[in-house]
Structure 1
Amino acid sequence: MPLLKPMLVVLGLSLNATAFAATHIQLDSSSQGAVINKNIYGQFAEHLGRGIYEGLWVGPDSSIPNTKGWRNDVLGALKALHVPLIRWPGGCFADEYHWRDGIGPRDKRPVKVNTNWGGVEEDNAVGTHEFFDLVELLGAEAYVNGNLGTGTPQEMAEWLEYMTAEGKSTLAELRRKNGREQPFKVHYFAVGNEAWGCGGNMTPEFYTHLYKQYTTFLKTPTHNTPKWIASGGHSEDTSWAEYLTTNVKQKMDAVSFHYYTLPTGQWDVKGAALKFPESEWISTMARTLAMDGFIRNNKAVMDKLDPGKKVGFYVDEWGTWYDVEKGENPGFLYQQNSLRDAVVAALNFHIFHQHADRVRMTNIAQMVNVLQAMILTDKEKMLLTPTYHAYRMYVPFQDATAVPLKLSGVPEYRLAGVSVPAISATAARTKNGELYLGLVNLHPTQAESADIHLAGITIQHVSGQLLTANQMDAHNTFEKPHAIEPKAFSAEGKNGRLTIELPAKSVLVVKVQ
């Protein structure tokens, strides 16, 4: 990064410029934060509903234009996100997935039942080779989740050998017979998924013993060794991070963590994706902001045990989870995606940036047609969701260096006994020294006034994109796929200062010049 003069930025925001004091957000570029690992913007594709089949994979013989079976329209959209990493094959599916079912001629692969998700047939058309075609077509890194629940140490070890072996072993030759001469590059490998739940209903102690047993036999060439990920806890639970960090001293590069935002906080009735009341808007915001506390609590435990921060804390499942859309298979977890989801995504980006010293990967659930998806499809049709647009707006933050923020006087948004800060902000410098600001107005009905002053530097202008809409549940449909999408935004400075009005329920990303 080029040398930059220390700079103080003061950003003033107010709920009502005539009635409230401005919120101040101070940035001091002489104090650098952590690098925001690009994999914080990672994706997740599980064998679940239409998340892979139809949503991503149509097969090479499909009338839908495709490359090696992967649909071209979806590939093009994902390339625009600079997708850095994809997690596969699950999720809960991973702990019932046997990798040999997904290699060899597709017409000879066994057909299984997806017992976790809908009880539908799984023909294993997408397996190891197809997955690596996808990540290579997107220029992404590969995160493979191994089967601990119903697998064996031998099965897991042999899968890694099949993917990475360079010599003339039987498994390396089998890979070549199936069409891949050179080894696959495995960047990350997890031993099981949600061991506390669908992955085996284990205690941290029991899982830790299994983790150490399995990883003893997981071997790869030294230049193709993945980062090893242990299945960790969820929500407010810190016991998994504590026990694993205490008791595993080798072959553990990260502990995973899962948290989903449910408007009601109840799994039986989570809340609707559309036509929800404002009370569920604010409850969703409050519940998603809880991510910050969960990360802080786990970091506090890990910082004591691992002060050098050698072990990462990977939030490899997160996002909104609503009641399934009417008429859909309940096991397919298909839900619409609105402006509310884009605001949730941006708020979590800001949290992850703040904790980028330990949080070096996250994976939103999921990429296409499942939960908080980037993309929805209906046969040959495709649309981009508000969450997709949020990811695209925040592309400049990938591998940028966080600029620490100090906020004061932040107005509160209150409703029905719930209170959240009305404003969230993040800032970072890219590798070429450009300064980007991300701002979110959580209030669904009230605009915020932003008065920006950069001490010692004259602001010429800011430019970027603004995402907002009139309705809280504004969303795209196959009939109206462009109903909500970002609009170009720019503002000019005057006498070294800049005033911006941030609309209600909006996400804004700008470059400061």
Structure 2
Amino acid sequence: MDQTTAIIDLDLPGPRISRHVYGHFAEHLGRCIYGGFFVGEDSDVPNERGIRTDVVEALRALSIPNLRWPGGCFADDYHWRDGIGPRDQRPRMVNSHWGDVVEDNSFGTHEFMDLCELLGTDAYISGNVGSGSVAEMSEWIEYLTRADDSPMADLRRRNGRDEPWKVPFFGIGNEAWGCGGNLRVEQFASLARQYSTYVRNHAGNEVYRIAAGASDADLHWTEVLMQSFDALDRAEEADAPAGPFQAVSLHYYTMTGPWADKGSATEFSEDEWYLALERAGYMDQLLTRHGQVMDRYDPHRRVGLVVDEWGTWWNVEPGTNPGFLYQQNTLRDALVASVHLDAFHRHAERVVMANIAQTVNVLQAMLLTDPESGALVRTPSYHVFEMNTGHHDADSLDVHLQGVPTRTGEKSELPLVSASASTRGGTALVSLTNLDAQAGRTVVLDLRGRDVVGHSARVLSAPGLATHNTPEAPDAVAPVTLDAVRPHDRGLEVTLPAHSYVTVSLTLA
């Protein structure tokens, strides 16, 4: 079996990997909210104030750091006042983006913030720029976070919530280049400054404002947004927050076909396996290129990059509503996730948050709920996130790979091994992905700078590339202990099975 070497200096920590790159996304789309997170108090599915308890328990096991809501495209049609007050009195609306269904607004601000409290996670509210107003957005943050007897705080109390909530993250629009208004970036940059100014800090709640950023490789969008900041290059202000917003976003989805025929989630060839992983690897190039644009205007890196929509986007499962974006989740999706997460780790100095799309029943979901039986299924992607919790708020470590095999792809050479590592206190975590569909791979971990006094390893793989979990086979793809880890004169030798994801936990002296 061929060998790859991964050189890791355990005593040279780099930028911290924010736990927030493991964020999630919940849009009013298909069965993400209704039937996914929220079933109502009268449901036979166990719930707490209408929120599914099994979903909460599963996500708490991921230490989910933040949750983005209510969209997505839905956010720029959403008017928050429609989602407060007695549920039977809330006005209805048409969800024109996703299935053209009627939304009854029974899940609104109070329900979402209740969900965040049950999850122990931070709220990331996506504000309406496309069809909303500056005053509407300003009043929403006041309603959420003000503690005194202001008009919006008083309205919140009349709706049953005395104490304000903490809202650390607020999005200024969504996909303003498309469903969020079809704006040119020059138009949106001015609106982002204006709207951000009125998303105020109330009662000690410090808001991190994220302006709707680019799609894919639209570097011009990022450049114009960066030009709209004031004095980012002044050394005397290097430690001050950027303003009036603090970050810009980036959206990128992985698919193997064109927009009209994105490819099947479960029926794909070996060539499509590699194509998906090559396109997933393109995220690293996007982060580099957008980061270079940002560096020109922001040498002190005061502005964050937030990848608040990423993941696979396949054709919907046959027989399901095409507007609900329900797709299965295979081992291939899990390795797409691991490749992305490695890229976020490598760019920890700039990437401050990321949100996989979406958490339940939509696109590359963590969880699938069965509408017939009520069963909850953890997807292969879920397990990658669970295996990586040791990277949360850990210091990144450079991984220098030697002897990595490649495969000629659509536009580039695809490395068949991906890796990242981090350290925290007396521990380190190494993540290794073998993208080879057929062959295993031996990796020597050349561990330098600190003594390793203990180790353990886990592996996620499956018999087939398209293996996935179902209510009947919930653990077809699930992590198990990896015994194929041996001492080596440079550190450790690890055997990666074909098409697998492995984490190696180290105890350091």
Normalising by the smaller structure, the TM-score range is over 0.9
**Distance across 2 between alignment mates of 1:378 and 1:63:** 13
Q: Are 2:325 and 1:333 aligned? A: yes
Deviation at 1:184, TM superposition (A): 1.2
1:459–1:496 CA contact under 8 A, matched in 2: no
Q: Are 2:330 and 1:349 aligned? A: no
**Secondary structure in 1 aligned to 2:323?**
helix
1:49–1:332 CA contact under 8 A, matched in 2: yes
2:248–2:304 CA contact under 8 A, matched in 1: yes
Q: Deviations over 1:425-453 (max 9, x none)?
A: 111002x2201100000011110012334
Amino acid in structure 1 at the alignment position of 2:259: W
**Distance across 2 between alignment mates of 1:444 and 1:378:** 30
Corresponding residue for residue 419 of structure 1: 413
More displaced 10-residue stretch of structure 1: 190-199 or 25-34: 25-34
1:321–1:371 CA contact under 8 A, matched in 2: yes
CA RMSD, Structure 1 to Structure 2 (Å): 1.6
Corresponding residue for residue 445 of structure 2: 452
**Secondary structure in 1 aligned to 2:131?**
coil
Deviation at 1:409, TM superposition (A): 2.4
Deviation at 1:69, TM superposition (A): 1.1
**Distance across 2 between alignment mates of 1:350 and 1:458:** 24
Deviation at 1:494, TM superposition (A): 5.7
**Secondary structure in 2 aligned to 1:126?**
coil
2:217–2:286 CA contact under 8 A, matched in 1: yes
2:9–2:448 CA contact under 8 A, matched in 1: no
Corresponding residue for residue 113 of structure 2: 132
Corresponding residue for residue 237 of structure 1: 218
Corresponding residue for residue 9 of structure 1: none
Q: Are 2:178 and 1:197 aligned? A: yes
Displacement over 4 Å in runs of 4+: 414-418, 455-461, 494-497
Corresponding residue for residue 427 of structure 2: 434
**Structure 1 residues without counterparts, runs of 5 or longer:** 1-15
Q: Deviations over 1:159-185 (max 9, x none)?
A: 111111221122111100111101111
**Distance across 2 between alignment mates of 1:439 and 1:263:** 24
Q: How many matched pairs?
A: 492
Deviation at 1:416, TM superposition (A): 7.9
**Distance across 2 between alignment mates of 1:284 and 1:500:** 25
**Secondary structure in 2 aligned to 1:224?**
coil
**Distance across 2 between alignment mates of 1:127 and 1:223:** 24
Residues 1:112 and 1:456: Cα distance change in structure 2 (over 3 Å): closer
Corresponding residue for residue 476 of structure 1: 469
1:23–1:410 CA contact under 8 A, matched in 2: yes
Deviation at 1:464, TM superposition (A): 2.6
Amino acid in structure 1 at the alignment position of 2:94: V
**Secondary structure in 2 aligned to 1:55?**
coil
1:459–1:493 CA contact under 8 A, matched in 2: no
Q: Are 2:169 and 1:188 aligned? A: yes
Q: Are 2:36 and 1:44 aligned? A: no
**Structure 2 residues without counterparts, runs of 5 or longer:** 231-242
Amino acid in structure 2 at the alignment position of 1:66: N
**Distance across 1 between alignment mates of 2:324 and 2:286:** 28
1:164–1:183 CA contact under 8 A, matched in 2: yes
Residue among 289, 292, 295 paired with 1:300:
292
What does 1:247-326 align with in structure 2 at a 5 Å threshold?
247-249=228-230, 250-264=243-257, 266-326=258-318
Q: Are 2:456 and 1:463 aligned? A: yes
Q: Deviations over 1:385-417 (max 9, x none)?
A: 000011000010000000112222211134688
Amino acid in structure 2 at the alignment position of 1:498: L
Corresponding residue for residue 368 of structure 1: 360
Deviation at 1:68, TM superposition (A): 1.6
Amino acid in structure 2 at the alignment position of 1:445: Q
1:41–1:83 CA contact under 8 A, matched in 2: yes
1:283–1:418 CA contact under 8 A, matched in 2: no
Corresponding residue for residue 12 of structure 2: 31
Q: Deviations over 1:348-407 (max 9, x none)?
A: 010000001110100000000000000000131110000001100001000000011222
TM-score, normalised relative to structure 2? 0.94
2:11–2:448 CA contact under 8 A, matched in 1: no
Deviation at 1:221, TM superposition (A): 1.6
**Distance across 2 between alignment mates of 1:27 and 1:481:** 36
Corresponding residue for residue 235 of structure 2: none
